[in-house]
Chain A
Amino acid sequence: MQGFRLNGSRVLEIDLMGDAVRAATGSMIAYTGDVTFKNAGMGGGDGLMAGLKRRAAGESVALMHCTGQGTVWFAKDAMEVLIVELNGDTLKVESEQLLALSDKLKTDVAFAGVRGASSGQGLFTTTVTGYGTVALLSAGGPPIALEVSPQYPLVVDPDAFVASQGQLNQSFVTDVSWRNLIGESSGEAFSLRFDGSGVVYIQPEER
């Protein structure tokens, strides 16, 4: 039983009782008790195969194992923290927005598509599967959870995308209309469209 809870809206507090969590490297701000922190390795703690895929995908995730007895506080760049429970389903998350997860959850890299290769965002995402808790980060303000249903498909700016959960079909929209909307300096030329049923989390600031 792991206690993920918020202390304010920007600090995550986790009680460890001999078990482990994985968290973004360098995100620990304080701890009490007897806790050890160890780099989770090249694959972010998911073995060599995931590590190689990450290399190839350029989706970087730097995680550390935190084990022991005590309480640990995590935070990153004063971003808002969102706690999401997983019950056997899959969460797709932008790796920069991942703060911490239960150690029993499995992480991998998903290839999201071939279009829009000019952008690093949204082409590869980290997937988290299993039963446990995940803490996500939102820049620029509190995260926004948006429901996707067959009646209401959703279009999202890849730079504001944080995570998605549920039975969702993700596609790229590269139409001229969207390109007009993008600031010339950012170079983003596509958007993410979600169909199906699930939830998409976005942040008020663009990366």
Chain B
Amino acid sequence: MIPLNPTTLPDNDNIPGNHYAYCVRLDGQLFMQTGRMIAYYPAPHSQGIRFEPLTAASLGGMVATRFSAPLYTRDWVVAAGAGHLILGDRGYDINSYDLDDGNLTLRAANLLAFDSTLELKQSIVPGFLTLIGTGKFLASSSGPVIFAEPPIRVDPEALVGWADCPSPSHHYDAGWMGGFLAGAMGMMGVNSGEERQFDFTGAGTVLIQSSESTVADPHLVQQLEGQLAGLGLSGLQRMQQAVAQQLAQQQQR
């Protein structure tokens, strides 16, 4: 195995023969999710590379105009400087994508890094982030990504993201839905595990990963917590009941 160094490392590409690691040639600023960087070479005769939290004063208004996802600010930093950054994500495949005056929505846990020329927004679909503009970004997936065109229905766990406007909605199996309407859900015990899908229609592209196993999504709790603020007193009481019910069920198992 021949060791790599900054002269032989690829500029913005996967490490040769390794889908699970990616080398970014940094020169400027890059938004990065924390905990995804495994090594870096600072460029010689440079200031090195600094990793600033989004709250850093030195970043000024740049973050405010580029990053409008308050739920996720703690999970992101800005890498600034020059050098080679090597990223890895728990053995997930890593790929880079180019966005050309477009939009793309991704599962938050799968987005690793994006150029500061792009704009990030929290998607109205919980747990997803939307990138808008022109630039490069890095995303991970469990196994290679499959690109599909709507109309298509996708298993929620296998969905990585979608581009353009395929209007995502939930789709429930008609038989299951019938049972639900009859109030018999949960008593029948006839779940196939495939009664709920995400439904995409319209013009665009859907990104699907080849495995249903997902990273434990640390953002889900944040996501739910964020929405609690919008509930009134009666809503909060309902939530409390629902949580207590779920807890009791889990403890029974």
Tell whether, in the assembled complex, residue A145 and residue B20 are in contact, meaning their CB atoms are under 8 Å apart.
Answer: no
- Does any Cβ of A come within 8 Å of B72's Cβ? no
**Chain B: which residue is nearest A178 at the CB level?**
B51
Q: How far is the CA of A151 from the CA of B42 in the complex (A)?
A: 10
Using known A-B contacts A139-B91, A180-B34, A181-B77, determine if residue A144 contacts B21 with beta carbons closer than 8 Å. yes
Q: How far is the CA of A145 from the CA of B111 in the complex (A)?
A: 25
Using known A-B contacts A180-B77, A183-B75, A206-B88, determine if residue A160 contacts B17 with beta carbons closer than 8 Å. no
Q: How far is the CA of A58 from the CA of B37 in the complex (A)?
A: 27
- Does any Cβ of A come within 8 Å of B6's Cβ? yes
Q: How many residues of B contact A (CB 8 A)?
A: 36
- Name A202's contact: one of B2, B39, B79 (CB within 8 Å): B39
Question: Nearest 8 pairs between A and B by C-beta?
Answer: A140-B91, A141-B20, A183-B35, A204-B88, A160-B38, A204-B20, A147-B3, A147-B5
| Complex interface: chain B residues within 8 A of A145 (CB) | 1-4
Q: Contact mask A167-186 → B, CB, 8 Å, 1/0?
A: 00000000001101111111
Q: Which of A146, A202, A204 has the most CB of B within 10 A?
A: A204
Q: How many residues of A contact B (CB 8 A)?
A: 35
Tell whether, in the assembled complex, residue A144 and residue B18 are in contact, meaning their CB atoms are under 8 Å apart.
Answer: yes
Tell whether, in the assembled complex, residue B51 and residue A152 are in contact, meaning their CB atoms are under 8 Å apart.
Answer: no
Q: In the complex, given contacts A181-B37, A183-B35, A185-B218, what are 13 additional A-B residue pairs having Cβ atoms less than 8 angstroms apart?
A: A140-B91, A142-B17, A151-B44, A152-B5, A152-B44, A154-B39, A160-B39, A180-B52, A181-B34, A181-B51, A204-B20, A204-B88, A206-B38
| Complex interface: chain A residues within 8 A of B66 (CB) | none
- Name A156's contact: one of B21, B39, B44, B218 (CB within 8 Å): B39
Tell whether, in the assembled complex, residue B35 and residue A141 are in contact, meaning their CB atoms are under 8 Å apart.
Answer: no
| Complex interface: chain A residues within 8 A of B21 (CB) | 141, 144, 204
Tell whether, in the assembled complex, residue B20 and residue A142 are in contact, meaning their CB atoms are under 8 Å apart.
Answer: yes
Using known A-B contacts A141-B88, A181-B51, determine if residue A157 contacts B20 with beta carbons closer than 8 Å. no
Q: How far is the CA of A145 from the CA of B20 in the complex (A)?
A: 14
